[in-house]
Amino acid sequence: MQELKQYWVAQALEKDLGYPGDPDSVMSFKKVIDLDEREAFPEQEIDWLYNWKLQHYYIPTNCGGEFTSFEEFVAFVRVLSRRDQTTGIAFTTLFWSFLTWMAGTESQKEHLAKFIKDNHGAMCLGYSEKEHGSDLVGGSLTATKVPGGYLLNGEKWPINRATISGISYILAKTDPEGGGRCLSLFMVDKREINPDNYYNLPKILTHGIRGSDMSGIGFKDCFIPDWMLLGEEGAGLELALKGFQITRTLCAAFSQGAADTALRTTLNFALNRRIYEKTVFALPQPRKVLADAFLDILICDCETIGAARAFHVIPEQFSVLGAVVKYFVTSKLETMINDVSAVLGARFYMREEHDWGIFQKALRDNAIISVFDGSTVVNLHALILQFRQLAKYRGRRKLKTIEALKSRLELIFSLEKPVPTFEPKKLEIFGRGADDALQGLEIGIQKLEDLKNNPELDEKILYQLISLSNIVLEELNAQDHLIANSKFEYGHDQSPELFEIAKKYCTLHAASCCLHMWLYNRKILGDFFAKGEWLVLSLHRLLRTLRPLPYFISEVYLENVAQELVKLYREEKLFSIVPFQLAKKQTQEDKTDGTTSELQLQA
């Protein structure tokens, strides 16, 4: 497999964090379980990450940081989250800094970069309110203009890191008349406001991520200077929605990390637990459940990695892509973790015993990912509002636009191609009907046709890929017809039928991403990826949720997927289409050698 530069940071971080099964490693399962039991904030773990200078990778290079690629970003967040979502989420609230990189003045960017790099600064996002939930325009917190600044009044709740942070992004009503331009966004530096005029709300007891600082913040005639306003007055809602396009997509990395751990710890159990004179893994049903879970991870990889790269190529399409990824990946992996719990049996429910009880923590922690930064319903609704434009755009494609689409698809999905610099100012509230992954489906099918008679490919596998891809196209065309004839009105009162159509759209989108990812990377991601059996099974698995298809398409393919899963587990590599090396379990001899080396250095 070809080594990819964009995964170097994740691999270095993974190595330095150490094997999570070692109780003495930085973010070991034992340590994070202990913190969770005490509902304690992971202060030492976060300090370690700051000292490692991971915060630099949240700051773009043109602002003095190291961030260059969302693909790189997703990979290292996955490394954090496979150990502990509480720590991963608490540290990655730094991704709200993209609001400033997107809309801030040069002075604001400089202020924030210094705060993050030199002061180990953290931040929170104050959008939601207890009485209004996700209805941002209906919020009650106000910012009243006064000479030199604004007076804030009101509360934001529930907010992650509301208390343990130095900067709060506060969405406030600056126009009491309401409407789309009634909100403004402020970057409130708590070090520079009067502590008598703001207060923190108590920590909330939660089902998962129990050590997180889930609390709130309130203001009472709190003066903030003009320079804390981000963008123009009245632009708050637009900035908030564009910020969500970034963070909703990146939330997928949290779920991917949890999914890796849930599958890995369950596979560990299945390979070592003997029942009926066999290992659990040798039994057909548990074996299929685990192989299917691995396929779900690969499917979600294609969706997430493709989207991460697409930020750099087609940022204007993320009103669609962000919603698709946030809904599909987080809900798919949430279901996957629930599915594999059946293999663990009673142990999935235990807060100790197998691997310190890490499975039940991953299960609980991951349940929140599909909810925050826009729930499944919110994201499906965001898609519904763009259905008409998406269907119309597909029907208007011309040769000239198709040629440009081919070039973009290669840049998005070919992992060996460098991506352009991310330009956040190109984010759009509405994508105007463009969605390259699905609108390029026929291009992918033609590429499959062009591979006929290629001696490197199994003829049967290629035939199955062509057949399944054409079913994806049939379903997409049928969906366009459904959309064109559906009863549709803008607003919140959409029919249940439209929500089902939106779910189907996400499934077809994932299938298309899998196809593109294979076509552009089959020569660089290793033999298992190149052979394409996993892709046949993945397309079949996705399409079975949309129309009746045979339960099995190939037991041989499934067995080969199961063997690849075990191979990656034995080699301690990430369950991924880019299976990089994970931190290895140290033997007692390794530990002794390490201690001896340290003593020699000290001497």
At 490 the pLDDT is 63
The predicted model gives 481-490 an average pLDDT of 74
Q: What percent of the chain has pLDDT over 70?
A: 96
- Cα end-to-end distance, the chain, whole Å: 42
Burial, 236: exposed, middle or buried (Cβ in 10 Å; 0-12, 13-18, 19+)?
buried
Q: How far apart are the C-alpha atoms of 483 and 40, rounded to whole Å?
A: 49
Residue range(s) in the chain whose domain bears CATH number 1.10.540.10: 5-118
Rounded to the nearest 10 degrees, how much is the dihedral formed by the CA atoms of 82, 84, 87, 92? 30
Q: What is the pLDDT of residue 602?
A: 46
Asked whether 325 and 252 are in contact (CB, 8 A), the reply is yes
Instruction: Identify whether the C-beta of residue 481 lies closer than 8 Å to the C-beta of residue 492.
Output: no
- pLDDT number for residue 595: 52
**In the predicted model, is pLDDT for residue 492 greater than 50?**
yes
Q: What confidence tens digit (pLDDT) does each residue in 160-196 have?
A: 999 999 999 999 999 999 888 999 999 999 999 999 9
Higher-confidence position of 540 and 431: 540
pLDDT of residue 133: 85
User: How far is Cα 206 from Cα 85, in angstroms, rounded to an integer?
Assistant: 14
Residue ranges, comma separated, of all CATH 2.40.110.10 domains in the chain are: 123-230
DSSP class per residue in 389-455: HHHHHHHT--HHHHHHHHHHHHHHH-TTSPPPPP-GGG--SS-TT--HHHHTHHHHHHHHHHTTT-T
Instruction: For residue 215, give the 3-state DSSP assignment.
Output: strand
From residue 126, alpha-carbon distances to 82, 188, 336, 573 in Å are 27, 10, 31, 38
Percent of the chain with pLDDT over 90: 86
What CATH number is given for 5-118 in this structure? 1.10.540.10
The pTM is what?
0.95
Match domain 123-230 to its CATH number in 3.20.20.70, 3.20.20.60, 2.40.110.10, 3.40.50.10490: 2.40.110.10
Mean pLDDT of 406-433: 96
Contact (CB, 8 A) for 406 and 441:
no
Q: Is residue 601's pLDDT more than 50?
A: no
Which residue intervals of the chain bear CATH 1.20.140.10? 240-570
List the one residue out of 128, 49, 71, 124 whose CA is nearest residue 94: 124
Reported as a single tens digit per residue, the pLDDT across 387-397 is 988 988 887 76
pLDDT for position 550:
87
Query: What mean pLDDT value characterizes the chain?
Result: 94
What are the respective helix, strand and coil percentages of the chain, to the nearest 5? 60, 10, 30
- Nearest CA to 85 out of 370, 385, 312, 396 is that of 370
Q: What span, in angstroms and rounded, lies between the C-alpha atoms of 473 and 449?
A: 14
Residue pLDDT, tens place only, 438-466: 999 999 999 999 999 999 999 999 999 99
CA distance 523 to 451: 13
Note the CATH number of domain 240-570: 1.20.140.10
**pLDDT surpasses 80 at 198:** yes
